[in-house]
């Protein structure tokens, strides 16, 4: 039985090592994908998130506008308790911003929202 336990222990250690290697590869890939996001990647990501989750202001956080993102998130969440009107308004703003982001050229988007730091529309 001790030899069976040893084989089982070796297999468990091998599995654990493979899992650690896979996790490290995933972590490195995620770091490269998110930290090195270029203007085009942020444009597409921010545009899609603005259309889908604009009422939460997620796209503002992607672009580095924390204050504006918090304002949109608070209005969006509290709007649920006020008959949905503020949530609808903030969602409409997010939809419009998403369309604007996606229709701008990469250079224009970069200069306007990342260099020029224009937080609204």
Please give the angle made by the CA atoms of 23, 27 and 28, to the nearest 5 degrees.
120
pTM of the model: 0.63
Residues 18 and 67 in one domain: no
Residue pLDDT, tens place only, 61-94: 999 999 999 999 999 998 888 888 888 999 999 9
Nearest alpha carbon to residue 97 among 62, 32, 33: 62
- Number of folded domains in the chain? 2
Residue 119's pLDDT is 78
User: Would you state the torsion angle of the CA atoms of residues 45, 63, 119, 57, taken in this order, to the nearest 10 degrees?
Assistant: 60
**Range of the structural domain that residue 21 is part of:** 1-36
Residue pLDDT, tens place only, 43-65: 999 999 999 999 899 999 999 99
Please give the angle made by the CA atoms of 29, 31 and 34, to the nearest 5 degrees.
105
**Could you tell me which residue, 31 or 109, shows the higher pLDDT?**
109
Average pLDDT for residues 92-102, to the nearest whole number?
94
What are the tokens at 55? 């009422």
Residues 57 and 105 in one domain: yes
């Amino acid at each position: 039985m001790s030899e069976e336990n040893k084989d089982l222990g070796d297999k468990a250690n091998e599995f654990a090592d493979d899992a650690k290697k896979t996790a490290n590869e995933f972590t490195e890939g995620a770091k490269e994908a998110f930290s090195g996001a270029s203007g085009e990647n942020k444009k597409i990501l921010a545009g899609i998130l603005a259309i889908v989750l604009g009422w939460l202001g997620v796209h503002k956080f992607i672009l580095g506008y924390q204050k504006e993102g918090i304002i949109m998130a608070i209005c969006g969440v509290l709007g649920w308790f006020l008959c949905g009107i503020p949530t609808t308004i903030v969602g409409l703003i997010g939809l419009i911003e998403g369309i604007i982001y996606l229709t701008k050229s990469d250079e224009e988007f970069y200069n306007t929202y990342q260099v020029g730091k224009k937080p609204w529309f």
